[in-house]
A and B are shown apart, each in its own frame.
Chain A
Amino acid sequence: MARRTPLWDRHVARGARMVEFGGYEMPHLAVRGRAGVFDISHMGEVLLTGAGAEASVQRLVANDVARLSPGSALYGVMCTEAGGIVDDVIVYRRLQGEGGSPPPEDGFLVVVNAATREKDVAWMRAHLLADTELTDISDRIALIAVQGPGAVDIVAPLCEAEVRDLRPFRSTGARVAGIDASTSVVSRTGYTGEDGVEIYIDADRGGELWDALLDAGRDRGLVPAGLGARDTLRLEAGLRLYGQDMDESVDPYSAGLGWTVKLAKGDFCGSDALRRIAEQGPPPSASPSRDGASPATVTPSATATARPGRSPAAATPSPSATASRPPSSTRGSPAATTSTSTSAAP
């Protein structure tokens, strides 16, 4: 039985053909415009609270979340003891006072992929440290992305916060389109390679928000878009997809995500294996590696075209600035490239 997002009836009313994606039925409209609006409510949202929340997130995620200020987010991976990728995630340090859910200062929100949500939650629970409460709030949250060069101009007038000033990978609590909700968070994130925002709102208010966005964007060419479009957009932007570009048989270095692994922060899930891989490369059989290709073989070419304009989750499938650096330095850091799947959250 396929699951349905809170906006299902609206998609069907518009004549959308529903197909399964990650266990959900979604509209299949491969539409590109000046801006597109996507129902990505299938993404999972996992809340970690309590005095031990930060230590737990540091253990679960290979990136260093101690650097996050309230409202800011980063991209990272969770890894098995063998160094294979359990999932790729976006981690938010929650905003003070956000959504009225106490205690805001020790809360993190981890946004996980739909297809791996149950597995992720079980794995996360099994690896939590003391004094941490984990709550899977996925079913309570609708998540709507507005993406494209015109996205911010469409959302800004509806928002009771200055979205134009919101920097990439930052979020803010704000009423949108006058809708009162216990959670209403606007985040400058996305998974299309375009500028835009993702809005987290109570599941039962998601429909109203969807309608309000489409109304507001009608004159600016805003169209509803589906996950088919989202997939081609993220692919062009060089953004990785869990299950396709990585899974538990692949370590983050082999997946080109070594830059998200912060071995210096101390021990975390998979750190022993990842330290070994970083120093020696993946062993022929023991360690996860897709096809024996050497880690971080994404070959950066210094000639890739720079993308005009700024945007979260930038578009060039590209080389980092380190393109022509000596290949010697610690693997992972200079190899960089793309990332950012998922989205952000309250």
Chain B
Amino acid sequence: MTTDAISTPTNQAPLSPEGRPPGRVFDQLFRIATFAAAIVVLVVMAGILLTTFNEARPWFQERGLASIFGTQWVPISDNAGNVVDPGLGAGALIWGTLYTSAIALVLAVPVSIGIALFVTEIAPGWLRRPVVFVIDLLAVVPSVVFGLFGVAVLVSPLGNDIYGPISDALAAIPLLGALFHGSSGRSYMTAGLVLAVMITPIITSITREVFATTPSALKEAALALGATRWEMIRGAVFPHARGGVVAAVMIGLGRAMGETIAVVLLVGGAANLGVGLFESGETMAAAIARSFNESTGVQRSALIGLGVVLFVMTLLINMGARWASGRSERRLRAGR
């Protein structure tokens, strides 16, 4: 520490109006305090894994592999009250989480890339800041407000006027008929649609930053060779940004998988392994929020276990995203 050499007691003259500069002890304490604050992150991350896993153990122990791979979530009893299937298999919920997130990505990724290109390549200078501001506002709309909007405004017209006719029209076609099956307003599709709106800002802001780092020499070279703007984008911007775009998509996927409140209100609540877009389903996050407060015993343990599964899946996806973006020079801005 060079400072220690300089500030020997002899030249420790008052440097500021507030009096003597902080002493050596304070200097060390300050350093320790900042280190302790930075370590909180590790403590919390380890704490999440350990404590939730501990609470979830009864579920894993009682059900074994069926806890994760079992497809029946709601217990089934026959008329006599005998338990036919004890339920609490997370398979259908994991499927629902992946399916709604996939729908959201299919809808959100092209639009997000389009907006990012609009901001970086097409919009005139004066328009860029307002566009970014508008996307930021979208990011601030609380999840529950999207959920309320979906429930109060979207659900019934979507189910009656859009899903129903589409599903009827396509029913006879083999693959499409199965895909577009159902007519429930609260469905995988509705949840995926709203999730798409919710993850668009984060994917947009990351891809925008990556696109903006394309060296202008590359872009100008492409244009000078006679490329149109679109050819320049495909030839110069996209190859440069590939890692960052992959990372953006993975971070969007992680967000979509963990999103809870809007999905609780819009997905329907019936655990469902099907591919019918317009049928109601359930996701892990939604199942936790829906029934945690009324749960007891092994069911509570199972819901916490869903949290563990969700945490591990999103953690792996986020780690993958950092790895994918590792090549690009600029670090991803956290949480924006």
A and B part of one assembly: no
